[in-house]
Amino acid sequence: MTGSLRIDFHLLDRQIVDLAGAPVGKVDDVELTEDGFRMVALLSGTDVLGRRMGGWLGRLLVRLAGRWGPPEPLRIPWQFVSNVDSAVHLSVRREVLDEPKLEKWLRDNVISRIPGAGDASQ
């Protein structure tokens, strides 16, 4: 792992990509130990982002995130992070992580219904 890291500058709002370079999400917040001294995991999700942003915009995001039941933020333990440069690179493929609910719902109910959705890359 790289040496000195700044949580706000190097991590927050940076793109997370998996082992294959596929986007996983943004670092919307960072989980620390209870005493606040050590970094434990990256957190990603609209609910997480909304809580961090605060204000009317943040509350709106939290409400949107909760529309389809309790939100399940994506939690990526620090051990999965291999490198931080212009993006946060993980040492695992995204299939190992939970799939965001909205993506799953839209995939199953909208996109999959359109012919050609599963075709090889275009």
Partner 1 sequence: MKRLLAVTLGILTAIGGFVDIGDLVANAESGARFGLRLAWVVVVGVVGICVYAEMAGRVAAVSGRPVFDLVRERLGPKVAMANLAGSYLVTLLTLSAEIGGVALAVELLTDVPYLLWVLPAGAAMWLVLWRVKFETMERVFGLAGLTLVVFLVALFSLHPSWSTLAGEAGSMPAGENWATYAFFAVSLFAAALTPYEVFFFSSGGVEENWKPKDLSTSRANVFVGFPLGGVLSLAIMGCAAVVFEPAGVRVGDLSQVAVPVGQSLGQIGLVVVIIGFFAATFGAALETGLSAGYTVAQYFGWAWGKLVRPKQAARFHTVVLLSVLIGIALLLTTVDPVQLTEYSLMFSALVLPLTYLPILVVANDREYLGDHVNGRFANILGVTYLVIILVAAVAAVPLMIITGMGTS
Partner 2 sequence: MRASELLGRTAYAADGTPLGRVIDLLTQPDTDGQPRITHVVVSQRVRARLYGYEREGLQRPWVVEKLVSLVHRGITEVPIDQIHWSTEET
Task: Say if strands 15-17 and 23-26 run parallel, antiparallel, or are unpaired.
Answer: antiparallel
At its nearest, how many Å lie between partner 2 and the CB of residue 96? 20
Chain positions contacting partner 1, by CB under 8 A:
13-16, 21-26, 28, 44, 46, 49, 52-53, 55, 57, 85-87, 102-104, 106-107, 110-112, 114, 116-122
Query: Of 28-87, which residues contact partner 2 (CB under 8 A)?
Result: 29-40, 43, 51-52, 78
DSSP string, 48-89: HHHHHH-HHHHHHHHHHHTTTSS---EEEEGGGEEEESSSEE
Q: Which does 67 bind (CB under 5 to 8 A by kind): partner 2, partner 1, none?
A: none
What Å distances lie between residue 24 and 3, 15, 20, 84, 121, CA to CA? 24, 8, 11, 14, 18
User: At which residue do the structure tokens 């690179």 appear?
Assistant: 89
At its nearest, how many Å lie between partner 1 and the CB of residue 63? 15
Q: Which does 6 bind (CB under 5 to 8 A by kind): partner 1, partner 2, none?
A: partner 2
